[in-house]
Amino acid sequence: METLPYAWYADLEILRREEQAIFRRAWQYVGHAGQVPEPGTYATSRAGHVPVLITRARDGELRAFLNVCRHRGSQLADGEGRRETIQCPYHAWTYDLDGSLRAAPRGHELDLDGIGLAQLSLESWGPLLFVNPDPDAPPLAKALGDLPEQVEVDGLVFHHRAESTQVANWKVCVENYLECYHCPVAHPGLTRVVDVSPEHYRLEEGRLHSSQFAPEAHFHFLWPNVTINVGPGEPNLSIGPVLPDGPERTSRFLDYFFAPDANEAWVAEYLEWDDQVGREDTALVERVQRGVRSGLLDGGRLLPESERLIAHFDRLVIEALS
């Protein structure tokens, strides 16, 4: 089996096609319900390149909007917090948390009837929030498949968010996540804890997700960019998106959850172990990016079994772009 063409990992036009054909049409993790726990709270995020505003209005309903003012296109809000309204920092157009326009200076010059924030599809999996920019998106459950049977998301408490950047195409980062063929070479700390031998490390794929199972841990991917990790030891979960920031740069965040009574010393040890694996992966994907961007090779090869989840992902990319 062959990889995607190497040119696809450094081409701006390919990224533009991916933004339209993939990221505007897929469910993506944007945060958790604890960020908007009660009326009068909001949080911001991204679905691919699309800026997202999540609100809980006075009626208690969770909503997601395009985080863009209807006046001149400014991004509206940053971060998260408590507010009764969202005011654009450019010209002070002000919106209620249900998305309706409350006030616009000199608004008498325009017909503002019916103008409000553009709403996005929002659904939850337990406390985990997903947004799809497509207003006609199929239900989240269809994308998740049997993932809810594999991953327990309730009963855990949010601990922290870790953010990182990689100088690599988003697909390079995803493909690295989708195989542990490299683990014995590149992750000595991981392989001391997790059995990644072929006879004990199981790979499974669904329509829009894939899974890696070790006796001690399991890792899941939801198309097009969501990574879900259940590590060894006490109950834990980390989840986050792989976000393109240009053809050769990627941003990521992971939200970590642990049991309410988790041992603090164990959590600290676990996080250091996990951070070390992340640092090793960053070095790996950046080396790959430097290689594929050389332009002298058309592509590479995939092992038919050990790297079959990459082949599954690559087929979805080709399907979307065609």
CATH classification code of 141-321: 3.90.380.10
Radius of gyration of the chain (CA): 21
Q: Domain-by-domain residue ranges, the chain?
A: 28-136, 141-321
Tell me the fold of 28-136. Rieske Iron-sulfur Protein (2.102.10)
Prediction pTM value: 0.95
Per-residue pLDDT of the chain (322 residues), as tens digits, is: 999 999 999 999 999 999 999 999 999 999 999 999 999 999 999 999 999 999 999 999 999 999 999 999 999 999 999 999 999 999 999 999 999 998 887 867 887 777 899 999 999 999 999 999 998 899 999 999 999 999 999 999 999 999 999 999 999 999 999 999 999 999 999 999 999 999 999 999 999 999 999 999 999 999 999 999 999 999 999 999 999 999 999 999 999 999 999 999 999 999 999 999 999 999 999 999 999 999 899 999 999 999 999 999 999 999 999 9
Residue 110 pLDDT: 81
**102-148 pLDDT tens trace:** 888 786 788 777 789 999 999 999 999 999 999 889 999 999 999 99
**216-239 pLDDT tens trace:** 999 999 999 999 999 999 999 999
CB 311 within 8 A of CB 8: no
